[in-house]
Amino acid sequence: MMISNSFGLKAKAKNHIHINTLDDLSMLDEVNQDEILILGAGTNVILSDYYDGTVISVQLKEIEINGNCIAVGAGLNWADLIEHCLINQLYGIENLTHIPGSVGAAPVQNIGAYGVEISSFIRSIECFNLSTRKVETLNNDQCEFSYRHSIFQLKNYIILKVNFIFNKSFEPNLSYPALSDFLKDNSIDSSSITPRALSESIKDIRNSKLPDPKLLPNVGSIFKNPILRTNDFDRTFLVGHRWDQADGYSKFSAARLVELIKPELIIPNTLGFYANHSLVLINNGGASFDEVINLLNQIQSKIYEQFKIQLVIEPEIIGS
């Protein structure tokens, strides 16, 4: 069975289970010994040509509202949640507009953009524990959220529903430089910006930097921005492409690091970098899993050799 993915790699799996209701969880008993891949919209994975196991796709899409708390099925498209919040005056995630994927995938990587992380709005997550074979609820502090990380990356849980707490009053986060610059350049008054206008601004920014996977197959940023001890690097290193964090750490631009070593790379014709963003790898057509992995290994090796920085691949690599 073919596995849909935004990078456009041809991939198949031995089995594929769709969870449309909680009763469908019983089907997992039939594949108890299989390797399991929990897959949402396939927007954050690099897949080999064959997965010798069972792919599980959660299709639960219900939304239940209780004041500023809402419970959302993991299968809902992320864009649909953004629109639902805008219509129902639930605020806080406008900066996360136009991120591809599903609601259930959002906590796995603790998605973040333009100064906002989704973990700030998660109260709890209902999931199926593959070890205990029971449905459990994990509170926010049990999810072990950090930068682009959560407990769900250990693959012990199938996320079924995410319980959010949003704000009833709109207090926009406009602190991110690229966002504040965009508002200024487009003569948008930050003091009177509406939730819809903020969401549309974020969409415009992302469209200017990130291509539509339906037109140019990609998985967004291919590497995470490294967060390293500030004092381990000269203050002049990556000036303009580094940002101080708390407790003596700084975030360094992975995109800039890639740009610095790009002339040394051997890139097959099937792959390329998006013109507007050096962290976005494009499948030009016919790219293979091995070609992608070889290129990523090249990049990591050259950056470590030159700068002693180990870049971490952001999408999940699913080998055979």
Q: Are residues 253 and 312 in the same domain?
A: yes
Domain count, the chain: 3
**Integer Cα distance of 117 and 109 in angstroms:** 10
Which residues are known catalytic residues?
A: 148, 221, 314
Longest dimension (CA), the chain: 58
Res 2: pLDDT: 82
Q: How far apart are CA 119 and CA 123, in angstroms?
A: 8
> Six-digit token pair at 167?
């704000």
Rounded to the nearest integer, the mean pLDDT of the chain is: 94
CATH number of the domain bearing residue 305: 3.90.78.10
Whole-number Å distance between alpha carbons of 313 and 165: 30
Percentage of the chain beyond pLDDT 90 is 84
Q: pLDDT band for position 30 (50/70/90)?
A: confident
What b/e sequence results for 210-230 when a residue is b if at least 16 CB atoms lie within 10 Å of its CB, and e otherwise? bbebeebbbbbbbbbbbebeb
Is the pLDDT reported for residue 184 higher than 90?
Answer: yes
Residue 157 sits in the same domain as residue 236: no
pLDDT average, residue stretch 131-142? 96
pLDDT class for 240, splitting at 50, 70, 90?
very high
Does a structural domain hold residue 237?
yes
Check whether residue 282 and residue 188 sit in a common domain. no
**Which residue type is seen at 71?**
A
Residue 298, burial from CB neighbour count under 10 angstroms (0-12, 13-18, 19+): middle
Same-domain pairing of 185 and 271: no
Domain membership of residue 244 as a residue range: 227-318
Q: What is the edge-to-edge ordering of all strands in the sheet holding 242-244?
A: 227-229, 249-252, 242-244
Question: Within this chain, do residues 30 and 153 fall inside the same structural domain, yes or no?
Answer: no
Distance of alpha carbon 309 from alpha carbon 238, whole angstroms: 12
Q: Please indicate, yes or no, whether residues 103 and 197 belong to a single structural domain of this protein.
A: yes
Top mean pLDDT of 26-30, 53-57, 146-150, 264-268 is at 264-268
